[in-house]
Structure 1
Amino acid sequence: MTTVRTLLGLPGLRRHPGTADALLDRAVTRLYATELRDPGRYLTAGELVLSGLLWWREPGDADPFVAALADGGAAALAASGADSNGIPDDVVTACERHGVALLEVPPDLSFAVVTERVVLALAAAADGARKRLLTAAAEGTPVAGLLARAAEELGTPCWVLSAVSRVVAGTAELPIDPSEAVRHFAGSRGRPTAAGGLTVLPVEGRQAVPWLLAVEGPLNGAHAELAQELAGLIGFARARERHEPAAVTEGPVRAIALRTEGSAEAADVLAELLAPAPFTYSSTGPDEAFALVPGPSWPEGWATAATTALSTVEPLLRASRLVAGFADAVPAAEADGALELARQARGLAAARPGPAAVVPADEVGVHQLLLAGASPKLRSALRRRLLGPLLDYDAEQHSDLVRTVRAYLECSGSPTRAAKALHIHVNTLRYRIGRAAELLGEDLTDFTTQVDVYLALRAGQP
């Protein structure tokens, strides 16, 4: 990393005595020469501003100029005297007031020479930083280690974010919610973008769920090139560190089932959603994956967090929908049953609107589980055997007895509640139930009969 202090080693540049020592450690990323009275609109952070002070005429002129440098994040001002008296006190005072490092350029030193020396120094530092990162990657340095090295070279905090809105690694506390960075990046259609004071760019790789590199502040010049290099190296490190499923054979486990619609690999999405918890998973195809997670490792509020994460990442995936279901913790010996519960919960999620849905198994009714084991043909046959006369009567008379019976049963056999739900008089409801019982040859007030009829009614649903 090139700093103001580094550039003081170049022939000709001198530190002004009034510059605080702490200001010399600011990173320098490029050089900008200007004689504008207000250069603010053209500045980017980390620049060494070179000026002959031709804009200065009288005391008071310096404050707006130096304030613009401070607001733009300039690393330092390298100035040559506006006249034979050297740098005006007005400029010195303004730099002290706004915390801008001030360097002196001797009057007999050409700005062209200064520019050449600074540009060569920046290029050499950038090339050295790139070599050091490449060496670290070749030595198998993990993602967190590469990020720490890069933060030192860039002189600014860095983070790797998963597009499911989690921080994979970072060198400081992330100043914004990771989902905000993901949403900004998704809105940029995959191009580097700014989000909450960060520059966010894609990490290279072919995984279903992208990773992002976030760097504090704007990137330009050599630093932008180094960040791009880092993004590629992190992609290689990610592929090398890809999660290896752990065996989950004892203790309580939770089961998850996930399906993707599109070309995103379900197993990759599921692995990213569950990281960094240990888990084992299997895939029955590119669009379907199942996982078992040890009970103690299960994150609180996973259903809500996963729904939010899937909705956030969906624009970045090659998938049109993502749905998942999960079961409560059970002993590992009962994992097969838990997986079936998770699969049924995923079926409920698929019926819900939106690009992503996650449903817990406790929302799955027992009758749904019982019917799930029957084939579509068997469910159709059971429905016809129990409800045949009622179905035929509705078809011939254009009546709605099937709907009436279902409402009656779902209201726990209460004529008053069922009549209210159907917006009819209670006597009308009683007549229709009596007629339905007559057609079926069954007593619809009998509990066992009610269970059989209700299952037959639900058997007609997919």
Structure 2
Amino acid sequence: MTLVRTLLEIPELRMRLRAGSGFLDREVTRIYGTELPDPSRYLSEGELVLSGLLWWHEPGDAEPFVAALAQAGCAALAASGADSGGIPDDLVTACERHRMPLLEVPVDLSFAVVTERVVLALANEAGGARKRLLSAAADDASLAGLLAHGATELGAHCWIRSATGRVVEASAPGPPVERTVLPVSGRAAVPWSLVVAAELGPGLAEVAEELASLVGLARAREDEVRRVQMRVAAPLIALLGDPASNAAELAGAFAATGLPAEQPLRVLLARTPGARTGTEILDELLAGHPAPVFVAETGETGDEACALVLADDSWPQDWAESATRALARLGGGRIVIGVGGPATMPGLRGAGEEARHALGAAVRRDERVAVVAGEEIGVHRLLLAGAPDELRRALRERTLGPLAGHPELLHTVRVFLECSGSPARAAKALHVHVNTLRYRLARAGELLGADLTDFRTQVDIYLALSVEN
């Protein structure tokens, strides 16, 4: 770390301290030269401001200049009074008042030499910081360890944040403070960023870039470890999607995961056509879940994946909504997810089928990101979804065929059933008199050869009406 006192110790510069002796431990992050009377819009925290005082003409000019430096959090002012007859007294006074170290540059020393030596000092310090960071990474390559060492070298707290807004790791509690944001290296479906709570000069920017690179390597290692751990559930997930598998095979594959047979599980299916992989999407969404999670690919293209999640009390009731909001932050193509369960091991295949039908419902939605839970789908639709298309169409034709040429009667029957068989509510919904409704229902009953007031008949007809949707 390059401090103000470090610059005073460089023999070639021969700078003399004129004010601010109590503030020499401030870190210098970059150098900036200016001759503007008000440079405030161009200043950054930690800068060594270099000036030939061409802006100074009379006593009183120093106060606004130094105040701007102090407001921006500059480290120090290095000034030469070659054209003003020395360092003005009001500049020394203003620097003392605003706690701004004032370094006097010898009149025979060019600013080019000062800039070169300061930049070299910053570069050397950055090189040392990078070496220390690499050494620390060799000892502790975990994300938490890397971030702690990085925060020390950068002199500012750091966060790793995913593209969904999730804070992956942090060196301090609380939300990220965005002063510098760098992309974490690596190709991933859900990119990460390194957020630093400070504006960084060229030297420290190199350190931050090194840290972001090390974080990318650590992520790749952790992802590989997780993939190895997930392989234990791959056979079970494959069997869930295989209608020819039997109960004994499922039980054996389930036992290999170590999951408790008496605890309910949720089944998640994700489909991500395009560049993303379904496993990475599910990994991201389930990263903060405290219960055991297993994720594996279910297709050859890598764009579909399945997750098994222990559905204990930690599973949030609004998971589908929160997942949709998180995924909406990601750009790119479509992401659709279906959720089935909860179900214990004997009912796991059914939960998988429920997730499959929920996924189908998500695909049919218009949104780019759609997450559908099985609870959102009526039981009658799930039952219908399990029948072959040919059978469903045949049942609809057999049940509703006589009404095919009577759309008004068909609509009346649908509204009547959706109003729980209440003539008054149905008439109100259709904006007709109740006697008109009864006439239409009677006519529909005649054509169908059925009693529309019979509950079982109502169920059959409603299921047949649901087929078209």
Structures share fold, TM-score greater than 0.5: yes
Match of 1:441 among 425, 438, 449: 449
| 1:115 aligned partner | 115
Please state if 1:273 is matched with 2:281.
Answer: no
Structure 2 residue identity aligned to 1:350: V
Deviates more, 1:373-382 or 1:352-361: 352-361
Q: Matched residues in 2 for 1:75 and 1:301: separation? A: 49
Q: Matched residues in 1 for 2:382 and 2:84: separation? A: 92
Shift of 1:122: 0.9
Classify the secondary structure of the residue corresponding to 1:400. Answer: helix
| 1:343 aligned partner | 356
Please state if 1:408 is matched with 2:416.
Answer: yes
| 2:209 aligned partner | 228
Q: Matched residues in 2 for 1:54 and 1:115: separation? A: 18
| 1:126 aligned partner | 126
| 2:383 aligned partner | 370
TM-score (norm 2): 0.84
Classify the secondary structure of the residue corresponding to 2:146. Answer: helix
Structure 2 residue identity aligned to 1:338: A
What is the count of residue pairs matched by the alignment? 431
| 2:305 aligned partner | 289
Q: Aligned ranges for residues 59-458 of structure 1 at < 5 Å? A: 59-81=59-81, 87-107=87-107, 109-138=109-138, 141-175=141-175, 197-242=178-223, 243-244=226-227, 245=229, 247=257, 249-250=259-260, 251-277=263-289, 278-285=292-299, 286-294=302-310, 295-299=312-316, 301-313=318-330, 315=331, 318-319=332-333, 321-327=334-340, 329-391=342-404, 393-394=405-406, 399-458=407-466
**CA 1:230–1:89: 2 relative to 1, 3 Å:** same
Structure 1 residue identity aligned to 2:304: E
Structure 1 residue identity aligned to 2:98: H
Deviates more, 1:215-224 or 1:157-166: 215-224
Structure 1 residue identity aligned to 2:78: A
Shift of 1:261: 3.5
Question: Does the aligned pair in 1 maintain the 2:52–2:83 contact within 8 Å?
Answer: no
Shift of 1:140: 5.9
Question: Does the aligned pair in 1 maintain the 2:19–2:100 contact within 8 Å?
Answer: no
| 2:30 aligned partner | 30
Q: Matched residues in 1 for 2:458 and 2:316: separation? A: 40
Question: Does the aligned pair in 2 maintain the 1:3–1:24 contact within 8 Å?
Answer: yes
**CA 1:450–1:99: 2 relative to 1, 3 Å:** farther
Deviates more, 1:418-427 or 1:95-104: 95-104
Q: Matched residues in 1 for 2:449 and 2:271: separation? A: 44
Question: Does the aligned pair in 1 maintain the 2:180–2:195 contact within 8 Å?
Answer: yes
1:220-259 CA-partner distances (Å, limit 9, x unpaired)? 4222333233222221211111134564611333332222
Q: Matched residues in 1 for 2:143 and 2:137: separation? A: 9
Shift of 1:455: 0.8
Question: Does the aligned pair in 2 maintain the 1:248–1:292 contact within 8 Å?
Answer: no
TM-score (norm 1): 0.85
Structure 1 residue identity aligned to 2:143: V
**CA 1:96–1:378: 2 relative to 1, 3 Å:** farther
Structure 1 residue identity aligned to 2:21: T
Q: Matched residues in 1 for 2:167 and 2:38: separation? A: 39
Structure 1 residue identity aligned to 2:395: L
Structure 2's unaligned 5+ residue stretches are: 231-256
Q: Matched residues in 2 for 1:441 and 1:287: separation? A: 49
| 2:251 aligned partner | none
Shift of 1:110: 4.3
Shift of 1:269: 0.7
Shift of 1:435: 1.5
Deviates more, 1:321-330 or 1:234-243: 321-330
Match of 1:13 among 5, 12, 15: 15
- Runs of 4+ aligned structure 1 residues displaced above 6 Å come to 82-85
Q: Matched residues in 1 for 2:9 and 2:348: separation? A: 67
Question: Does the aligned pair in 2 maintain the 1:82–1:88 contact within 8 Å?
Answer: no
Shift of 1:14: 4.2
Question: Does the aligned pair in 2 maintain the 1:390–1:402 contact within 8 Å?
Answer: yes
Structure 1 residue identity aligned to 2:437: L
Shift of 1:333: 4.3
Shift of 1:175: 4.5
Deviates more, 1:76-85 or 1:278-287: 76-85
Q: Matched residues in 2 for 1:89 and 1:268: separation? A: 64
Q: Matched residues in 2 for 1:13 and 1:303: separation? A: 63
Question: Does the aligned pair in 2 maintain the 1:290–1:339 contact within 8 Å?
Answer: no
Give identity over the alignment, percent. Answer: 59
1:111-150 CA-partner distances (Å, limit 9, x unpaired)? 3433232121111112222233334445561222222222
Deviates more, 1:268-277 or 1:138-147: 138-147
Q: Matched residues in 1 for 2:6 and 2:355: separation? A: 60
Shift of 1:371: 0.9
Structure 1's unaligned 5+ residue stretches are: 177-195
Question: Does the aligned pair in 1 maintain the 2:82–2:107 contact within 8 Å?
Answer: no
Structure 2 residue identity aligned to 1:303: A
